[in-house]
Amino acid sequence: MFKQIALTLFTIFGVTTVTNAQLAHEVGVIFGPVAFQSDYGQRHDNSTNLGNTGFGIGVVHFLNFSSAANGNYFFNEHFKLRSEISFSKADFQHFGSWVEGKPSAGKEKLKAMKGKTSLFNIGTQLNFSPFTKTHDFENNTGSLSPYISLGVMASYYNTEANSSLGPLGLESTTIDKYLTPSDGHQYGFATESGLTISAILGIGVHYKLNEMNDLIFEIRYQAFNSDWIDGLNPNKDLYKENKSNDSQVWFNLGYSHYLEF
């Protein structure tokens, strides 16, 4: 029953529409920490990168073309189509030079600001293994298959921004840069939900445990086409230091199992 459910679930992505070919399916899970790059804290600051972290988990499906009889030997042996449903969550606060040093009213307002976001992702990627043929990897327990991946995801986000000093939007709780209107919003902060698109770039390796099972180690970068994912987006015309959209880096450990449909 599990195999039928797994295949049906990922068919909705359109990845199993290839006809006249014998295809292999793999399903698995991925999980690990997520480092969020946002408008909280100082960009390229270690305390920010370590402090604004969260956790992600996902279910993945690989469409393996190694048995396909379509005449494209190189593609069949070096590429897999990957579909994914994943969830991540992170908490935010300000770190770095903007809140360190001699106390001030502005620093206290920044220190009091907190945020959080959760993301539900669905999408597809193309995995390319440049050094290892799929058949060679499948037939050798203990072998490695490094890969790079490129893809796109649709994400539903739910974000929240608040302050321990009181409601944001008041001069007593919020520094000026977040009181300025930004990108169609009354302020440079928001508590909201929405949809966004993101691009995925990853690098990883499959390790062959045995004939039917692999381990996955992966690092990947997810770049969003929105700057509201973390709940902060100061006016970019006035505050050039916040010009970049939000992004996150995943450090994943995973497991995949080959299905015999």
Taking only the tens place, the pLDDT of each residue in 122-137 is 999 999 999 988 888 8
What is the mean predicted confidence (pLDDT) over 201-227? 95
Segment holding 76, helix H or strand E: helix 73-78
pLDDT given at position 235: 92
Amino acid symbol at 118: S
Query: What percent of the chain stands above pLDDT 90?
Result: 62
Residue pair 187/147 in contact (Cβ under 8 Å)? The answer is no
Q: Decide if pLDDT at 205 tops 90.
A: yes
As a CATH number, domain 29-259 is 2.40.160.20
- The larger pLDDT score, comparing residue 259 to residue 49, is at 259
Q: Decide if pLDDT at 148 tops 50.
A: yes
Neighbours of 147 (CB within 10 A): 23
Give the 3-state secondary structure of residue 65.
Answer: coil
The least confident of 6-15, 66-75, 105-114, 225-234 is 6-15
Taking only the tens place, the pLDDT of each residue in 88-121 is 999 999 887 778 878 888 889 999 999 999 999 9
Taking only the tens place, the pLDDT of each residue in 8-59 is 445 444 444 444 446 788 999 999 999 998 888 777 666 777 778 999 999 9
pLDDT given at position 217: 97
> How far, in Å, are 92, 181, 197, 223, 246 from residue 226 at the CA level?
17, 16, 8, 9, 7
Q: What is the mean pLDDT of the chain?
A: 87
The pair of structure tokens assigned to 135 is: 């058949």
Q: Decide if pLDDT at 155 tops 60.
A: yes
Taking only the tens place, the pLDDT of each residue in 9-18 is 454 444 444 4
Q: Decide if pLDDT at 196 tops 80.
A: yes
pLDDT given at position 41: 78
Q: Decide if pLDDT at 179 tops 80.
A: yes
pLDDT given at position 71: 58
pLDDT given at position 261: 53
Amino acid symbol at 93: Q
- The larger pLDDT score, comparing residue 153 to residue 23, is at 153
User: Of 188, 165, 193, 167, which Cα lies nearest the Cα of 178?
Assistant: 188
Amino acid symbol at 32: G
